[in-house]
Each structure stands twice: as C-alpha cells, then as structure tokens.
Amino acid sequence: MDMVRFFIRRILTGIVVLWLVATGAFFLFFARPVQVVAHQLAGRAATPQIINEVISRLGLNQPILVQYWHFLDHLVHGNLGFSFYTGQTVNSILMQDLPPTASLVVGGVILWLVAGLSVGILSATKARSLFDRFSTVGVLIGLSLPTFVVGELLLLIVFLPLNQNGFTWIANGYAGLSGGVGPWLGHMLLPWITLAAVQAAIYTRLTRGQLLDSLGEDYIRTARSKGLSERRVIYRHGVRAALTPVVSQLGVDVGQLLGGVVVVESVFGLGGIGQASVQAIYQDNLPVIIGFTIAAALFVVVANLIVDLVYALLDPRVRIS
C-alpha cells in the first residue's frame, strides 16, 4: 500500500507540474496585445489576411481567461495546436521528430549507465590499483571534453576513415527501425557514444565515491563478520546503498537531456525534437515552441516518475516520505 500511495502522490505532483508549465507558457506568450500574439502565431512571413484568420480561428479577441480555458481544454484532449508557418499540426511535427530523439536519449542513457556504473564499481573495489588510476584519468578526460568536441572527434577519427575504406555500416544521419536493426544501430552508435561520454565520466566518479563510502559503513562490517562472501557484501549491500544518490542524479540529468541532445543531433544530422525546436525559435514559430515546451515538461515528469519509483525500490524509507 505504501508503494501505491507513493505512486499516486508522484502522479498528482506531475500533473500539477504540467499544469504550472502550461499556465506559465500560456500567459508568457498570450498575455500581450492581440496583434503581437497573432503575428507570432502566424510566423514572420504572415500576411494581414493570415493574421486576421489566426485571430478569428483561435479567438484571440476573447477575454484572456476564456482563451486560457480553451487552451487547457485543448491540452487535455491532446491538441497542441497548429503551425501556420509549416501547415502542420504540432502533434504531427512531434511524432515526426520523436523517433531520432527517443533513440538517442534511450540508447545514450543505457550506455552511460552501463559504462559509468561498471567502471565506478570496479574502481571502488580495486581502489588505488592500476585500473583505478587509469579510470581516474579517463574520467578527467571525459569531464574536460565538451559534447560537440567528442562528436567531431568521432566523425574525424572513426566515421571518415571507415567510409573512405568502404565500410558504410557506421553512417551519418538517422535511419529508422523500419529499415532494419543493423542500419539503425550503425547510424546511432556514434551519437550514443558522444552523448554518453561526458555523463559516463560523471557517473563513474559518483559511483566510485558512493561505493567507497558505503563499504566503510558499520552494516558492511557486520555483514562481513557474519561470514558473507565479499561478492555478496559488495553487490547485495554496498552497491544497493551506493545507487540511491546515483538514481537521484539520473533524475536531474534526464531532465536536462532535451537541451543536450540539440548539439548531438546537429553534429550527426539526426533531425529530432532538439533541432526542430531550435528551428522553430529561429522562425518565431510560436505554436511549435509552446507545444515542444509542454512536451519537454511531460518528458521530464515521466522520466522523474520512473526515477522516483526506482529510488523507492532501492530505499523503502522513501515510500513513506
């Protein structure tokens, strides 16, 4: 029951967060003179006829609270609006650009977690060994390199030489799963490594430090005195306690991913939500900007809900907090 109540509380909190983000976005953009809002909704190249059409179609000459109610009603029904600049619904733009971003985010997170946790645990269990020293140097290198530098280096060192020698499996751009798993992996491998490189270094250092602290606790000495194997002490007790701050950090990092993927998508020409949002800002395409803002908030809420559930499984005390 504690877990169910915890889950319900987190869902309600997420709904409140989405409402606050949607309300802030609405009043930020719509609480201005009608002509200004209509011109921004229609795009920079809009004619007076289109602007008048926008005012009439969206009811921008109605009281602001009436507009706000219609705005929330559309959101509840999954309607994120219509782009007068491109002639598409925001929903269709999102569905078109979502696969590259989702592929990049999911693969990158899995890669940096596997790499960061594995190296961090090995470094902690082999503290001050040669492996630990090499991993420390690797962490410093990873933390020192900006994401775009890692991407450009991979293109220069890996992509170009392989393609010049006729090896085309690793390619630039995005290939969907409809073309097969192999081409999809070939297009996503370098972007995953780029996105994961810096984060893996952070998680290696965090995991190593937390596990070293956990292995020095009294309950670890008690477990060893009971005759438990060292492997069980480390992985059953030490690692589980060390993962709680790692999971907390993951919630923060996942929330920032949509900002970070813009660079990776641009370097490798993947398209995706990141690039589309930047383009919408340059075009002053207000419906798309608002739609992407709300979609990003939904992504953060869902990701943090998953992280909170994992945290609650690792530490039962969280369920009653």
DSSP string, 224-268: HHTT--HHHIIIIIIHHHHHHHHHHHHHHHHHHHHHHHHHHHHHH
Interval 184-214: pLDDT, tens: 888 888 888 888 888 888 888 888 888 888 8
Residue 68 covered by a domain: no
Burial of 16 (0-12, 13-18, 19+ CB in 10 A): exposed
Average pLDDT value for residue range 85-107: 84
Number of domains comprising the chain: 1
Burial class (CB in 10 A: 0-12, 13-18, 19+), 97: buried
From 92, 101, 86, select the one nearest 263 (Cα to Cα): 101
Q: What is the pLDDT of residues 283-310, one digit of tens each?
A: 777 888 888 888 888 888 888 888 877 7
Is residue 14 scored above 60 in pLDDT? yes
Instruction: Phi first, then psi: give them for residue 82, nearest 5 degrees.
Output: -135, 135
Q: Is residue 154 domain-resident?
A: yes
Q: Which domain holds residue 251?
A: 98-283
Query: Which residues are CB-contacts of 176 (< 8 A; sequence separation ≥ 6)?
Result: 99, 184
The 10 Å Cβ neighbour count of residue 216 is: 10
pLDDT of residue 20: 92
pLDDT digits (tens, 9 = 90+) for 27-74: 888 887 777 777 777 766 667 777 777 777 777 778 888 888 888 888
Report the CATH number at residue 176: 1.10.3720.10
pTM summary value: 0.79
pLDDT digits (tens, 9 = 90+) for 106-147: 888 898 889 888 888 888 888 788 888 888 888 888 778 787
Q: Between residues 171 and 163, which one has the greater pLDDT?
A: 163
Distance CA 222, CA 109 (A): 35
Report the share of the chain in percent with pLDDT over 70: 92
* Residue 16 confidence (pLDDT): 92
Q: Which two tokens stand for residue 222?
A: 């008690």
Is 33 within a domain?
no
208-244 pLDDT, tens digit per residue, is 888 888 887 777 778 778 777 778 888 777 887 788 8
Residues 6+ apart with CB under 8 A from 293: 21, 25
Q: What is the DSSP letter of 45?
A: T
- For residue 265, the Cα-to-chain-centroid distance in whole angstroms is 13
Q: Is 73 within a domain?
A: no
145 within a domain of the structure (yes/no): yes
